[in-house]
Amino acid sequence: MNKEPIRGRGSSTNPRHRFTDKEIEYDIDEKTGQLRKPERKILTDHTKGIISKNKSPDIPFDVSINPYRGCEHGCAYCYARPTHEFLGMSPGLDFETKIVAKYSAPDLLRETLSSNSWKPQTLVMSGVTDPYQPVEKDLEITRKCVSVLAECRHPLVIITKNYGVKRDIDFLQTLASVSAVRVVLSITSLDKDLIGTLEPRTSRPEKRLRAVKELTNAGIPVHVNIAPLIPGLTDDEIVPIMERSKEAGAESVSYTILRLPYAVKDLFMKWLEDHQPNRKQKVIHKLKSLKDGRLNRSEFGERFRGEGAYAEQIRQLFEIHKKRLGLNENNYSLNKRAFRRPPTDQLTLF
């Protein structure tokens, strides 16, 4: 089978996952011998809980909520792809076409916040897959969750690559009025053609910058994360992205070095071969220079950062222009004092 790129998808393969010896069955077009373009399939998640707790010291938050598992954005490098392996699915095309939706998330969230044992703390949406991926336009699970959080004045950070976050400005303004919200827009590149293959179903760069501006104009604090920073491919865009983010109204900017855990390494290498063959060796060489000679480091404290001379060069460049542009450090500390527990139907004893 000729596994050529599939338009609108970040992966062109469906490799078997690391928990099975069985080969993944491919849907092959008998006439062309090509892998058929897979359609989106929505599956139902029957989880009994909705809050995920973080134990990694690399991540600046303790709790998160993920309305979806799998992500239609199809980013070729997505570190969350291996999470689909725990569901018995491939981290390749399955991850971006078989979307597991948590329909009960808003009710579970309300139930959690109603409990006297819940203590308000910054809740991140989401720490894994994008809460505003295309399926959200139809299902509105994220919007319903944001509605609950706005009603409760509960501190919230949203991380997304999608202009669709603008839809929920009404609820976000409610949270902004009590200093309980921040939106993080991830911008990888300003090159729309590159983004068209690297992050095929995300909002294009200009629309993300427009989201920064419109959210800012609505009084909602916005942070831009240059994520991921891909050495040898997008590292020359650090300063332009910072400048455009400042122009759009972002109050702070950060960056995150590319991560390639488990099967993501092979999927991303295939993407480079398909779309950036002339840069493949340069990307590999630079990435290894940041990761102690490896393509990925999984140890706590090392996963999200680079080391060595090149890493220091990036850090200094970033710090110089952050100071020049008057950009702040990102701050996940939001107001918790305005929190009010949602009413429940349960009768009290007195």
For residue range 72-95, list pLDDT tens digits in order.
999 999 999 999 998 989 999 999
Res 349: pLDDT: 43
Res 7: pLDDT: 85
pLDDT mean over 38-61: 84
Residue 33 located in a structural domain: no
Band the pLDDT of 5: cuts 50, 70, 90.
confident
Cβ-contact 37, 97 below 8 angstroms: no
Res 138: pLDDT: 96
- The CATH number linked to 211 is 3.80.30.30
> Residue 15 above 90 pLDDT?
no
Q: C-alpha 7: how far from its chain's center?
A: 21
Q: What percent of the chain has pLDDT over 90?
A: 74
> Residue 346 above 60 pLDDT?
no
pLDDT digits (tens, 9 = 90+) for 111-158: 999 999 999 999 999 878 999 999 999 999 999 999 999 999 999 999
Res 26: pLDDT: 60
Residue 334 located in a structural domain: no
Band the pLDDT of 27: cuts 50, 70, 90.
low
> Residue 205 above 80 pLDDT?
yes
pLDDT mean over 18-24: 59
Cβ-contact 186, 225 below 8 angstroms: yes
> Residue 268 above 50 pLDDT?
yes
| Residue whose token pair is 């992500």 | 71
Residue 3 located in a structural domain: no
> Residue 348 above 60 pLDDT?
no
Q: Which amino acid is at 110?
A: R
Which residues face 98 on adjacent strands? 41
Residue 25 located in a structural domain: no
Residue 31 located in a structural domain: no
Q: Which one has a higher pLDDT value, 296 or 299?
A: 296
Q: What is the pTM of this model?
A: 0.92
Q: Which one has a higher pLDDT value, 185 or 333?
A: 185
Q: Which residues constitute the domain of residue 133?
A: 41-325
Q: How far is CA 169 from CA 139, 238, 279, in A?
A: 18, 28, 40
CA dihedral 202, 206, 210, 211 (to 10 degrees): 20
Residue 144 located in a structural domain: yes
Residue 22 located in a structural domain: no
pLDDT mean over 244-266: 95
Average pLDDT, the chain: 90
The alpha carbon dihedral of 260, 261, 267, 273 has a sign of positive
Cβ-contact 197, 5 below 8 angstroms: yes
Band the pLDDT of 218: cuts 50, 70, 90.
very high
Enter the tokens of residue 53: 């707790």
Residue 232 located in a structural domain: yes
Which helix (H) or strand (E) element contains residue 141?
Answer: helix 141-152
Enter the tokens of residue 241: 């992205």
SS3 of residue 300 by DSSP: coil
Res 56: pLDDT: 66
Q: Provide Rg for the chain, Cα atoms.
A: 21
The tally of CA atoms less than 13 A away on the side-chain side of residue 128 is: 20
Number of domains in the chain: 1
